[in-house]
């Protein structure tokens, strides 16, 4: 009986290994068969992922993913591969990867352990943290939110951080959920909220492009530190290796820094410089 059980166990392990090997090449095989790589993007995650006036996807992470598309085209030569951009929201973006609606998620995706149970992540693409845009007295700690109306984008790590921290500290405030960052900042400008909580790079970008009624400021304080990466189908090691190899090359040859400078209008950022140095993994 024991010999039969051991043999049966061995057959099961072999079968699972075969399935794993099949799954590891699934994304590239589907892209080759269809001739299309489906890129999930958001319209509101400026300057990482958004639409310009003509409706064309733009942004720092969109630029990184366009380099991934070139790498896929090179890998699958002579197959013809085109990019298909698929809109996602902050609420359904990871499910879109999990359920196979997109092949790669190209927006401001923070890595968390809960999300890693649903998708895989590439090597990091950006480092940021939660910040605050505010009117009136500067907000430097969570206690300063007491008695104020604070806006935040639904379905984000900043929303989770704000909600759970305020509850843990017993701070009473009214949280106003926004559908996108532009409307959140609009609520702040119009006085419907006292502050808006979001990734600091996004706040700085929106502040720099608000030409009128700029009656708010950006706080100096970081309330968290988060690492962004591209979300990928879970368990697809071959596709993930191709994506990571592309990002590492962009870091090594200076193109990642150049793309960040172009999209953020900054010459240098210490945290991003450190991330790029870490990402510069040698080819051999």
pLDDT at 31 over 50: yes
pLDDT tens-place string over residues 240-276: 999 999 999 999 999 999 999 888 865 556 778 889 9
Q: Is 0.75 topped by the overall pTM?
A: yes
Residues 4-31, mean pLDDT to the nearest whole number: 53
Residues 84-96, mean pLDDT to the nearest whole number: 96
| Among 125, 121, 97, 80, CA closest to 41 | 97
Phi, psi of 6 (to 5 degrees): -65, -45
> Are the C-beta atoms of 221 and 140 separated by less than 8 Å?
yes
With bands split at pLDDT 50, 70 and 90, how would you rate the model's confidence at 155? confident
Average pLDDT in the chain: 88
Higher local confidence (pLDDT), 91 or 15: 91
The contacts of residue 63 (CB under 8 Å, 6+ apart) are: 259, 262, 263
pLDDT at 205 over 90: no
Q: pLDDT at position 74, please?
A: 94
Q: Which domains does the chain have, with CATH numbers?
A: 2-127+227-279 (3.40.190.10), 130-218 (3.40.190.10)
């Amino acid at each position: 009986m024991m010999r039969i059980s051991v043999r049966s166990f061995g057959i099961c392990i072999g079968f699972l290994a075969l399935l794993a090997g099949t799954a590891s090449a699934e994304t590239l095989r589907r892209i080759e068969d269809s001739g299309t790589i489906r890129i999930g993007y958001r319209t509101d995650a400026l300057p990482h992922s958004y639409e310009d006036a003509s409706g064309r996807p733009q942004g720092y992470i969109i630029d990184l993913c366009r380099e991934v598309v070139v790498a896929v085209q090179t890998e699958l030569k002579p197959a013809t591969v085109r990019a298909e951009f698929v809109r996602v929201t902050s609420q359904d973006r990871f499910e879109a990867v999990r359920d196979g609606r997109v092949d790669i998620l190209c927006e401001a995706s923070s890595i968390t352990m809960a999300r890693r149970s649903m998708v895989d992540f590439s090597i990091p693409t950006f480092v940021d943290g939660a910040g605050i845009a505010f009117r009136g007295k500067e907000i430097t700690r969570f206690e300063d939110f007491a008695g104020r109306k604070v806006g935040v984008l639904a379905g984000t790590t900043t929303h989770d951080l704000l909600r759970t921290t305020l509850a843990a500290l017993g701070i009473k405030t009214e949280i106003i959920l926004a559908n996108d960052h532009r409307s959140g900042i609009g609520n702040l400008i119009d006085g419907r909220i006292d502050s808006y909580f979001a990734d600091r790079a996004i706040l700085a970008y929106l502040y720099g492009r608000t030409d009128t009624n700029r009656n708010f400021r950006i706080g100096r304080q970081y309330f968290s530190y988060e690492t962004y990466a591209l979300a990928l189908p879970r368990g697809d090691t071959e596709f993930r290796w191709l994506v990571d190899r592309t990002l590492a090359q962009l870091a090594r040859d200076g193109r990642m820094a150049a793309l960040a400078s172009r999209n953020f209008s900054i010459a240098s950022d210490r945290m991003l410089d450190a991330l790029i140095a870490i990402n510069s993994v040698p080819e051999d």
